[in-house]
Amino acid sequence: MFKNYYLKIIFIHMLGIFPNHILAKNAIESARVWPAREYTRVTLESTKPISNDQMILKNPDRLVIDLHDIDLNDDLKNLSTKILSSDPNIKQIRVAKFNNQVSRVVIELRSESKINIFSLKPAGGYKHRLVIDVYPRVDELMAFVQDKEKKDPTPPKKEIVLTPPEIKKEKISQEVPSPSQTTKSLTKKIVIAIDAGHGGEDSGARGASGSLEKNITLSIARKLKKEIDNDEQLRAVLTRDDDYFVPLHVRVVKARKLKADLFVSIHADAFTNPEAKGSSVFALSERGATSASAKYLANKENESDLIGGVSLDDKDPMLAKTLLDLSQSATINDSVKLGNFVLDQLGEINDLHKNNVEQAGFAVLKSPDIPSILVETAFISNPKEEQILNNEEHQEVLAKNILIGIKKYLSSNPNIAKNF
């Protein structure tokens, strides 16, 4: 009886009636696409690691990925429907069964592209992921910076009056020093890199009402950029300008390539206790600086780089390390000064979690010659602070007060950064 039962199952399968997904070794449980001007990310998520092969073909430019032992289910089939006509990097995606063991994904590119494919182990609620990043050959952000400066008309400034009762002392200081007082002879604008924390697959902390840190940080970063660009002596650049992921070390590399003079990373804190509240500001710790220096010197790509305007490629290794350490120490001191000015301004509009600038080894703070701070605007895990973090007017007030702190720092450091 049992023998006949199993023979019947095999026979049904041969007829194609038996559901394929029951016999498949692995299956795609989620397929996501994150389009952005800078790059487009495609993520395939499954319960087990995804075995795959890839090849790049021309005329037209396309990437072919063969997924081994993956069932062609609806989640994988629907990947083709998730490509927007506005996607700047991917024209379309086709998915089909190549043979009994392989499902083939063909990504047709809009132009010749740089491709980065890698796997991620389960983390933060995600399962195994195969990640495909499609970068345009031209770095749009760098192209923007190299363009001739264009003066944007400055809209008339208006006073913002806030009504939500949860917002503490919503006011903007009238004593805003202008960099023009100390930088009239400057020949170029002061460049401030604004880093919106998290993005794309990395949603950051989640509030009790479902708010995502990545969305709040991007909104505040955009408002801060607008405020900065309204000042004729300043220019702001964003490390990400949309909902996509940027690796932490790449954020620092971008800031250095863009010749940024200051780096401000925007975040929204979280803690297991929903009563935790207040704003914080972080600078790099000495321990974090030591590990960063070692990695920097070990990176051959940095041999001809400049630290504080000094080339390291022709220096004795010990001298290069000494110069780097001196630069990093001076940068940390400047970062703490910048952080104190910003923290004071945040105290005007919100409770402070700590009354002093804290120091830690955050990866985004590890530039050796750019004063860098990380601003925890408030606790998204605190229901009241989550509410005000989502308030557009409060976000504007945050941006304005962060800028006031930056300007006060600039006024106290007329010879900042790059010897303009």
Tens digits of per-residue pLDDT, 244-289?
888 888 899 899 888 899 999 999 988 888 999 999 999 988 775 5
403 versus 174: which is more confidently predicted?
Answer: 403
Cα 192 from Cα 238, distance rounded (Å): 9
107, 120 Cβ separation under 8 angstroms: no
Tens digits of per-residue pLDDT, 125-184?
889 999 999 998 765 555 555 554 444 444 444 443 444 444 454 445 445 555 555 444
Placement of tokens 């495609």 in the chain = 42
- As beta bridge partners, residue 341 has none
Beta carbons within 8 Å of 286's beta carbon, 6+ residues apart? 329, 332, 359
Tens digits of per-residue pLDDT, 300-316?
334 334 444 444 444 44
Beta carbons within 8 Å of 170's beta carbon, 6+ residues apart? 160, 161, 162, 349, 394, 397
Q: What is the β-pairing status of strands 190-196 and 262-269?
A: parallel
Beta carbons within 8 Å of 184's beta carbon, 6+ residues apart? none
Tens digits of per-residue pLDDT, 319-328?
445 545 556 7
Between the alpha carbon of residue 157 and those of residues 66, 153, 160, 230, 398, the distances in Å are 56, 12, 9, 9, 16
Mean pLDDT of 373-381: 95
Beta carbons within 8 Å of 213's beta carbon, 6+ residues apart? 197, 198, 203, 204, 205, 206, 267, 268, 270, 380
**Average of per-residue pLDDT values in the chain:** 80
Cα 13 from Cα 22, distance rounded (Å): 11
Q: Which two tokens stand for residue 148?
A: 């001739």
Lowest mean pLDDT among 15-19, 305-309, 344-348: 305-309
Cα 273 from Cα 357, distance rounded (Å): 22
* Backbone φ/ψ region at 76: left (φ over 0), alpha (ψ -120 to 50), beta: alpha
Residue 38 has pLDDT above 50, yes or no: yes
